[in-house]
Every structure is written in structure tokens, then in C-alpha cells.
Amino acid sequence: MDQKFNEKAYLLKCLMDNMTDHIYFKDLDSRFIMMNEAASRWQGNCAPDELVGTSDFDAYAAVDARRMRDEEKHIMESGKPLLAVEEHQNWVDGSRGWVSTSKMPLLNEAGQIIGICGISRDITERKEAELRAARYAREVKEVKDAMEDDLRMAGELQKAFFPTSYPVFPPGALPEDRLVEFDHYHSSGLVGGDLCSVLKLSETEVGIFLCDVMGHGVRAALGTAIIYTLINDLSRTEKDPGRYLERMNQAMTPILRTGEDFLFVTACYLVLDLSTGCLRLANAGHPIPLWLGGDGRVKGCMEDPEQRGPALGVLEDERYTTQECQLQPRDAVAMFTDGIFEMAGADDEEYGEQRLLESFQRHYDLPLPELFPAILKDASLFTGGKAFDDDVCLVGFRLHGLG
């Protein structure tokens, strides 16, 4: 019997001393009665026998030692184990670590609780990595939240660039007596690169500007802020659409080509004379506006595509041609950015300018405030309700009379 017992004891000791987990046994006063090599190294880098009779108060800071003693007292009183608990431990020398601990009652042959046995695993490296990752995630979230707050504020500021009201011709006229009716629609993320403006130039003239800054987000939005300033400055001094775009291009090109970055802007500018119905326009690489007659049919091409100039910001000394067409009452003109016809359906087929034209022809008789929502609904149905990939902006007018 003694020989078998000694063999079992020897095998148990070999197992314990070759395990990296900390294995230990304590009496009813939470004093060590046995531990393996790994536990003794963790406790104080001593031989296991040297630590028999010591307690956690000899190795850990008092606050941690009390916590561990209270845990073990509860285990011995309740008979319930404590399983896989992660604990932060501070040693008396000031060093710190983390362990995953399981503790359970230690029973004698009669089934009486005579102490506790425990298994702990050093998880310091993993836990510190988790804490670093959590700290990094918090820092990233704080930065992200701050950026989103800034973007939301920028988005609110950018909304101020768009029309909140439209010029009235003749001045003071009631809606049913106005010569022309305007509307616009704008959709983007928090900030975007589309911008439109409807400007009263005189008692009988109105300017309508639409542009699309290449790209999305903050860079594109900064471009619209620069353009917004130029729109208002140039409209006071330049009514010819071609020269208007030339001066805007001269002012913007040095800014857009700063450093290695390259931005460009497509733009179209119309000037409508309500005394004659004459519409003058110039185009800088922008989609050609739609000109619809009173029957909803395409009335003609508003411009010669050969006369369309390049986007703003490409060549500083570029010249832009002013073209003219003659509008009649009930005619309508719609300008738009490419985001509405470049959106793709489920099979990656683009919506396209032809479908956009057909949509305008179907809904032409709708009141102007209902027209653009109907156009957008058609495009959205084509894509299966997906969000627009690009910023979308539409602006236009319907001519009711001349005067």
C-alpha cells in the first residue's frame, strides 16, 4: 500500500511540477500546504517547500490578499467553487499581473472541507493586449465621434449654401402670377461635392448655377465652399455665362491643383431673360440640361456638345463659349449632376441618361415641387431601392410667361 501510495504521490508531483498552470492547496486559514513549481515561481520565485505556511499576505498587496482570503472563506463556507475568474493581482514589490483562477473546496476522506485547492493561469500578456486593444478602440471611437460631430456640423453649414427661397418675377407677385417657378433637390452624405444656386441678376434676369466637385466627403465639400464664395462674387459683375465660367476657372485652378492633389469641377451656368425668353448658357464638362416643351417632349438640344468646354480646374486659361436658345411659356429646363444617371441596378447596368429623359417625359405634367421627387423615385426603383452611390442634385425651372 505504501509503495503504491508513494508511486501515486510521485506521479502527481511530476504532473504538477511539469504544468505551467499554478496549482496549490490551502488550509482553513488560507495558508499554503502544497503547491507546484509554477505556483512557487509566481508567488515569489522560491522552492515550493519554502512557501508552505505562508499566505497571500506575504506576496500580494494587502487589498488583493484580503479579497482572495474573503473569496476562499466564502468557498469553504458555502462549498461552492469559483470558476475561471479573471483577477488583477498586485505584488508587494509593486509589480502586477493577471490570472484566470478556479478555486474549489478541498475535502478529506470523510467529505469534510479542510481548505481549498486552486488552479491559476498567467494571462498577463493576453489581458494587457486586450486592455491595449480596448483602450485603442476607445481612442478610435473618440476620434471617430469627434470627426462625425465635425462632419455633421459641416453638413449643416453646407446646407446653407443651397437655396432656401427663390427669386420672384415680377417682384412681389403671388405664386399664380409668377413668370417662372423654380425648384431644386439635393441628396448626399453628411457632406458632398454638389452645389446649386438660383441668383436674381436684375428685375428680368436670373442665373442658375450647378456644379459637381470630383469625389466625395470633406475634400469635395471644401471645393463647394470655395465655389459658393465665387458664385456670389461673380454674379454681381459678370452676366455672360461663358466669361462667368472663365473667371471662375481662373480663380479655382490654382487652388484645385495645389501640391500633388488634383481636383476638377464640372459646372453649368444658365442666364434666363424673362423679358424675352432668351436663355444663355455655358458648360464646363457637365451633363447637358434637359429642355422640355409644354407637351413634355424634348424641344431641342440646349447646346452644341462640340462647344462644351472642359471641367474647371483642368486648364487655367480655358475659354468657354456662351450659347443661346429661345424658350416659350410652358417650357421647362432641368439641370442635374451625374449621380442620378450613373447609379446602377442589380445587374450593374447604369440607369443612364435615356431612362432619365423618359422619366421626365412621363412626369412632365406634375407640379414642379412634385416633379423631382417623381424623377428620383423612378431612379430608385431601377436600383431596387439602393442608396445613391454618388451625390445627387437637380435644379430647374418652368417658364409660365414672359414680361
Per DSSP, 58 falls in state G
User: Residue 42 and residue 120: Cα distance in Å, rounded?
Assistant: 10
Q: Are 199 and 209 in contact (CB under 8 A)?
A: yes
For the CA atoms of 211, 213, 217, 222, the dihedral, rounded to the nearest 10 degrees, stands at -90
pLDDT in the model for residue 305: 77
Grid cell of 127 as nine digits: 489581458
Record the cell numbers describing residue 75, joined without a space. Answer: 468557498
Q: Buried b / exposed e across 231-242, counting CB within 10 Å, b at 16+?
A: beebbeebbebb
Burial 100-131 (b: 16+ CB within 10 A, else e): bbebebbeeeeeeeebbbbbbbbbeeebeeee
Query: What is d(CA 83, CA 123) in angstroms, rounded to the nearest whole number?
Result: 15
In this predicted structure, what is the pLDDT of residue 226? 85
Q: Identify the pLDDT of residue 332.
A: 93
Could you report the per-residue pLDDT of 329-362, keeping only the tens digit for each?
999 999 999 988 888 877 778 888 899 999 998 9
Whether 76 contacts 115, CB under 8 Å:
yes
350 strand-pairing partners: 344
For residues 279 and 326, the answer to whether their CB atoms sit within 8 Å is yes
Are 333 and 302 within 8 A, CB to CB?
yes
Cell of 222: 471644401
Question: What is the spatial distance between Cα 291 and Cα 296, in angstroms, rounded to a whole number?
Answer: 9
Can you give the C-alpha Rg of the chain in angstroms?
A: 39
Distance of CA 150 to the CA centre of its chain: 12
Q: What is the tens place of the pLDDT at every residue in 247-303?
A: 999 998 888 776 666 788 999 999 999 999 999 999 999 999 999 888 778 776 677
Question: What does DSSP assign to residue 191?
Answer: S
pLDDT of residue 225: 84
DSSP states of 140-186 as a string?
Answer: HHHHHHHHHHHHHHHHHHHHTTS-SS---SSTT--GGG-SEEEEEEE
One digit per residue, pLDDT tens: the chain, 403 residues? Answer: 566 667 777 777 777 777 888 899 999 999 999 888 888 888 777 888 888 999 989 888 888 889 999 999 999 999 999 998 888 888 777 778 888 999 999 999 889 999 999 998 888 888 888 888 888 888 888 888 777 776 677 667 777 788 999 999 999 999 999 999 999 998 866 667 889 999 999 999 999 999 998 866 677 777 888 898 899 889 888 999 999 999 999 998 888 776 666 788 999 999 999 999 999 999 999 999 999 888 778 776 677 777 889 999 888 889 999 999 999 999 999 999 998 888 887 777 888 889 999 999 899 888 888 999 999 999 888 888 776 667 889 999 999 999 8
Question: What pLDDT sits at residue 15?
Answer: 76
Please give the Cα distance from 395 to 161 (Å, whole number).
14
Q: Which neighbouring-strand residues pair with 325?
A: 279
Report the C-alpha gap between 155 and 218 in whole angstroms. 10
